[in-house]
Amino acid sequence: MNRYTISALVSNKSGVLTRVAALFARRGYNIESLSVCKTEREDLSRMTIVLKGDDYILGQMIKQMDKLIDVKKIRCVEEDAVSRELLLVKVKTDSETRSQVLEISQIFRANVVDASPEATILELTGKPTKLDGFVTMLMPYGVMELARTGVTAISRGKTTINDETDYKEQI
């Protein structure tokens, strides 16, 4: 079982997320995260999907997604691509534990975005593994709530997703 990151440019209209999610569900693809955002073009959104599977599943998922009319460009992002995720975590803190939590935050270079007598909210951006490590370190203090955006990624160098050819234009 490998982990792959896939980027796709899709039409920015309602129903597209449903189409993609429904495709994953009916074909039985195992999705770890999915994030959607705006792009430099108003008519396009970008989806970043983290898939768990093998080469066969990866190939099928890209091809099946490429068949959707609303999917314009799709590529599997290289392993060394820049990929980041944002974490917001609310940790239980009191006068005794606060300094310890802040110390851990410093190691991970997380920011304090909110503090109250019983809780501190921390913000951290990085690779998913880094976020995992941070959360593990905070667990003993009591993670009250956490939110992660899912991975977003972009290829290194001058190549872009726009270099891909839409399958629908090849036939």
22 is a site residue for another protein (CB under 8 A): yes
18 is a site residue for another protein (CB under 8 A): yes
Strand 111-116 relative to strand 119-126, pairing: antiparallel
Contact residue for another protein among 3, 15, 79, 136 (CB under 8 A): 15
DSSP annotation of 118 reads T
3 is a site residue for another protein (CB under 8 A): no
Which positions from 60 to 79 touch another protein by CB under 8 A, shown as an x/- string? x--xx-xxxx----------
Cα(153)–Cα(171) distance, rounded to whole angstroms? Answer: 29
Residue number, 41 or 168, with CB nearest to another protein: 168
Name which of 103, 24, 131 is nearest 68 in CA terms. 24
The count of C-alpha atoms lying within 13 angstroms of the C-alpha of 130, restricted to the half-sphere facing its C-beta, is 17
139 is a site residue for another protein (CB under 8 A): no
Contact residue for another protein among 17, 19, 130, 137 (CB under 8 A): 19
In 3-state terms, what secondary structure has residue 148? Answer: strand
43 is a site residue for another protein (CB under 8 A): no
Instruction: Name the token pair of 20.
Output: 């993609």
Least Å from the CB of residue 39 to another protein: 22
Burial 36-65 (b: 16+ CB within 10 A, else e): beeeeeeebbbbbbbbebeeebbeebbebb
Contact residue for another protein among 1, 26, 117, 165 (CB under 8 A): 26
167 is a site residue for another protein (CB under 8 A): yes
Cα(161)–Cα(104) distance, rounded to whole angstroms? Answer: 37
Q: With CB under 8 A as the contact rule, which of the stretches 19-27, 78-86, 99-107, 155-163 interacts with another protein? A: 19-27
Which residues make up the interface to another protein (CB under 8 A)? 15, 18-19, 22-23, 26, 59-60, 63-64, 66-69, 167-168, 170-171
